Structure 1
Amino acid sequence: MPAHIIIRDGSPYWWASTDIWVVPGADPNGAPGTPVAGQPAYLWAHAANTGSGLANGTRIDFYWADPSAQVIVGTANPIGSAFVDLDLNPAGQDVLCLVPWVPVVVNGGHECLLAVAHGPGDSNPIPDPLPNGYVFDPPAHDQIAQRNISVLMASMLAAAMVISVRALPRQDKLAFVSVEYGGELDQRQLTLLGLDKMDLRPAQRGAVQVELSLEPICGGKHGHGHGVGEESAGQPAEQEQQQEQVLSVSVAKTYAAGSEVGGDETLDQEPGAVEDDMGAAGSAGPDGAVDSGALEGADYGKRGLRVEVKRGTAAAVYAAFSAERLHPGQYQLVHLVEHSQGKVLGGVSYVVVQPPRRHAEQAQQGEQA
């Protein structure tokens, strides 16, 4: 009688699993929240056995990785393991990793987290140990989940976020990174992110603008390049050249991970968005936008950043955020999504928050004290 171990993916963005969460601080039984760079935190996962046989002694391995849409074994860093006996209760169990995790300062605490379950008698086991170069691929394996969602306060957007686009050890990669907006956080997500006490509401689309570049850029109120809906006329030639490297994306979509890109699942277009009218074949345009032919048949119908990566290497993509239109008490979800060969490989999600005035004042008073 086989077991069937599950750590659930997020929905609709599978890399935002609510079955993985962080408890910052020295007390692993404290309140969930956002990790702080350089300070200890504890990781939890929720696992269930939906099969017909027991899975006693199931081991759950925890990893952290630099923010990347597609995470590969060898680039993820092991944190520790936990063991749990999974009976046939479909509700599952919460599992604590007793090894504390200290987020690295270089990423500001915005690392990607993974939980991987290895259990006896699993109906569809994954390799143990996972071989180097193995793609974690959570949608393809019920035993693997990823939490790649971070909170960005609107007052702290001067530095651009950096994500890695990685190629497999033996294969070059041509990828397309897009920015997608939209979605609401349910109560569980708000709690896991430590935002449940702020009385937040989702903003209308277009409140946050994002600029993508292969070169370092600045975010905040006056970033380099241009965001969705902004005009570039009359700007210096040097800034115009920078803008050629910055591609703002604006179409919100939801889809099953690994599904074909495009189709009836497309949501409403962002206000002020620019959508390319491209044919079925062709090459990259002068601004770097890639049409369907350049990405082996993927009909994107939108703009993004084209990234070419040699086998076994990684490229940095810089994302500068501007939240001038985000009002106090609002948040907006922003997703950086990596596509290749017409498939969704993964993504990184950010919750850009403008706290209510009372929370901002309390935080300021706390800093002064």
Structure 2
Amino acid sequence: MAAKPGRYYSGQYSPLVGNSAAFYSNNELDQYDDHARKAYGVPAPPGDDHPLNQYGSQDRQQLTYDNLTSLKGPLPQRPHKAGWSRRRKCVVFGSAALLLVIIIAIVVGVVVSVTHRSQPFNFTLSNAQVTNQTAFSLGGATHNSPNDTTDGVGVGADAYTYYQGVASNFPPASAWVSFEDMWNSNLQVFKTSCKANNHGPNNSDQMIQDIMDAIQNRSSVSLVDHRFILAVILQESQGCPRAGSTTSASGVVNPGLMQSHNGTSYNSGHSADSILAMVQDGTQGTASGGDGLVQNLDMYGSPYSAARGYNSGYIPKSGDLSEAAGATACYVSDVANRLTGWVYAASKCPGGT
């Protein structure tokens, strides 16, 4: 039988070890004929008598590593194509995709921030003032300048007394602490209350200053005692402009520092203006007709009755300000205690915190 053209083991299949044999079909060996010749510099076999042709005489020829290496030395492995592994591709392309997402998020954030800041913040300053003279005699309103921050009895006591019943059972304005002491005693509350109540980042020093400035500004115009405004802010939001809104059964939304009736929410793009608007809403009433402290003082005279009206929308027929009246039972007692120095002491109000 005439010998077939030579065939060579190229390394594509499992390597042979020592003299152990492996069998490969002519078809499999055909795939690497040219490769083997080029690797060894061997020309195509000229005829049946070429020494390499002894390995192509049968359809399945037994080849050993020793047979092949004796011809021209060990065959080199089939060269690998240059390129990246699948894992490397995943890492590279995955990192690129993540970087692209981060860049897009940053760009979108910047655009939103710029757009938010570029939009005008429109609100009209109110001239609403307390006119009920009883409110001046009982202390909810004053003709004194808010620049007098040392008014009151000093720092008071960080203690809680449970007040209940009619307005006359609550402490008189002559027992209230000064605005300066009340502010300083609660300064740490202003600095930490947002995060503590899961309302987002804490107030910056500038935001805290803006809150004080807004209280002083609206007190001067409205004639509401700045201590009363501060006490209500602490009661409603603990001084956090980002405080979440509540919604009444009738759909009234109460946002921000003073949880005012369909009032203004905090706007980070116009921080100082939105803080002033929130204090105005709670002090002088909202554009939607929600009553502020001015309207409640005009209606009830007493600051404690005004506090009940602000929280509940009305005074219960019994006149008992410790009744919830559809809102918070401890509200008026808490406000009274804030006005006399309470900050951290445990509440003694039933159901209070």
Higher CA-based Rg: 2
Identify whether the pair has TM-score above 0.5, normalized to the shorter chain.
Answer: no
Higher strand share: 1
Normalising by structure 2, we get a TM-score of 0.22
Q: Please give the TM-score of this superposition, normalised by the length of structure 1.
A: 0.22
Kindly indicate whether structure 1 or structure 2 has the higher relative contact order, using CA contacts under 8 Å at least 6 residues apart. 1
